[in-house]
Amino acid sequence: MSAISREEVANLARLARIEMSDAELDHLSGEMQVILGAVARVQEVASADVPPTSHPIPVNNVVREDVVIPSLSPTDALSGAPASSEQRFKVPQILGEAE
């Protein structure tokens, strides 16, 4: 049985950049415990001699032809932006934060 603490879930939420209330953390810790217990079954058959499969059909280094095609206009590219200024995405301060 896998054990996962409330503190671990809080750390995962921090890593995943999701703010969580105490109530959310309490609820999710309980659920994670149950779900991890169920999915841990994969370990029963995952022996060392079995190679992993990351993708159903093996493909790699696929590139398209290098031809110039029209791209989005700045207006279109910024059309969904929460904030923009001078044809750029405007974001909250990223430097000088406490962490």
Partner 1 sequence: MSIRSSATEMAEALARKEISAVELANQHYAQIEAVDKDVHAFLHLDKAGALAQAESIDKKRTAGEKLSPLAGVPLALKDVLVQKGVPTTCGSKMLEGWRPPYDATVVTKLKDAGIVILGKTNMDEFAMGSSTENSAYGPTHNPWDLTRIPGGSGGGSAAALAAFEAPLAIGTDTGGSIRQPAAVTATVGVKPTYGGVSRYGLVAFSSSLDQAGPCARTVLDTAMLHQSIAGFDPKDSTSINHAVPDVVAAAKKKDVKGLKIGIVKQLSGAGYQKGVENKFNEAVAELVKLGAEIVEVSCPNFEYALAAYYLIAPSECSSNLARFDSMRFGIRIGDDGSKGAEEVMNLTRQVGFGREVKRRIILGTYALSSGYYDAYYGSAQKVRTLIKRDFDAAFEQCDVLVSPTAPTTAFKIGEKSEDPLAMYLNDIATIPVNLAGLGGMSLPCGLAEEDNLPVGFQIMSPAMKDDRMYLVGGALEAALLSKWGKPILDFAPSLVGSK
Instruction: List interacting residues with partner 1 (CB under 8 A).
Output: 4, 8-9, 12-13, 15-20, 24, 28, 31-32, 34-36, 38-47, 50-57, 59, 62, 64-65, 72, 76-77, 79-83, 89, 91-94, 96-99
Q: How far is the CB of 86 from partner 1 (least distance, A)?
A: 15
The string of DSSP codes covering 27-55 is: HHHHHHHHHHHHHGGGGGT--TTSPP-S-
Q: Among residues 42, 6, 40, which one has the least CA distance to residue 23?
A: 6
Q: How far is the CB of 93 from partner 1 (least distance, A)?
A: 5
